A = this chain, B = another copy of it.
Amino acid sequence: MELNSKQVTIIETAEKLFADRGYDGTSVRNIAEEAGINVAMISYYFGSKEKLLEALFSYRAEGTTQKLVSMLANKVLNPLEKVNMMIEYYIDKFYNQTSFHKIMSREQVASRRSAIAGLIQGFKKRNQQLIKEIIQEGQKAGYFTKNIDIPILMSTLIGSISHAVTTQHFYREINNLQDMPEDQFQKMMKKKLNAHFKFIFKAILTHEV
């Protein structure tokens, strides 16, 4: 789907508001006002509020899978290095697209907007398949142990990052970091989370610490 600049503005405004207030907590009027456009434009360009949400998913999901593909096709890295790369990639992705992931983590729970649920499910399935392949590659090559439950492992990665990102303010508060500048805080968190998950994945995949 080709998007003109006005459509992109709408989508990105919607993303911000959906993340802050939820899909149902955001009205098309809110979006229109924030984006500085006419209310009718949303129906005009996207057909409906729900279709706008779908468009947002397509907009953000596009590229993700292909990046994962190209990254994992790398011939030089060994399986553990690939896994570490994937960890880095996910942490970056969540921090760079916080709003989008807030929406996604909310929407995958709700069973109502089926078109969206289908999109998310398909998206996650594709990505998990890719990751499964690296891990199996590592298992075949003798790097990784057998009996690894990949969905649970991915839940650990994605669920944890998601939780950490969406509750950043809580982390700041509990550690008295309210005044640390956002970029410095993010840099620190990324570093900590990278070390944390690389340690965990190594332990699980190789039974070594």
Q: Which of B19, B24, B192 makes the CB contact (< 8 A) with A24?
A: B24
Assess whether A149 is interfacial by the CB under 8 Å rule.
Answer: yes
Instruction: Work out how many copies of this chain go into the complex.
Output: 4
Question: With A and B bound together, what is the CA distance between A171 and B153 in angstroms?
Answer: 12
Inter-chain contact B111/A20, CB cutoff 8 Å:
yes
Return the CB mask of A181-194 against B: 1 if under 8 Å, else 0: 00000000000110
Question: With A and B bound together, what is the CA distance between A163 and B174 in angstroms?
Answer: 23
Please tell me the number of chain A residues within 8 Å of chain B, measured between CB atoms: 48
Residue of B at shortest CB range from A106? Answer: B106
Inter-chain contact A167/B192, CB cutoff 8 Å:
no
Which residues of chain B are near A158, meaning CB under 8 Å?
A: 163
Which residues of chain B are near A192, meaning CB under 8 Å?
A: 149, 152
Residue of B at shortest CB range from A175? Answer: B151
Which residues of chain B are near A121, meaning CB under 8 Å?
A: 170, 173
**Dominant SS at the A interface?**
helix
Assess whether A76 is interfacial by the CB under 8 Å rule.
Answer: no
Assess whether A159 is interfacial by the CB under 8 Å rule.
Answer: yes
Which residues of chain B are near A171, meaning CB under 8 Å?
A: 151-152, 155
- Residues facing B in A20-61 (CB within 8 A) are 20-25
Residue of B at shortest CB range from A26? Answer: B24
Please, could you name 8 A-B residue pairs with CB atoms under 8 Å apart, sorted by A?
Answer: A20-B111, A102-B109, A121-B170, A149-B192, A151-B171, A158-B163, A159-B164, A209-B209
Residues of chain A touching chain B, judged by Cβ–Cβ distance below 8 Å, are 19-25, 102, 105-106, 108-112, 121, 124-125, 128, 149, 151-152, 155-156, 158-164, 166-167, 170-171, 173-175, 192-193, 196, 199-200, 203-204, 207-209
Closest 7 CB pairs of A and B: A159-B163, A24-B24, A203-B203, A24-B25, A159-B159, A159-B160, A155-B164
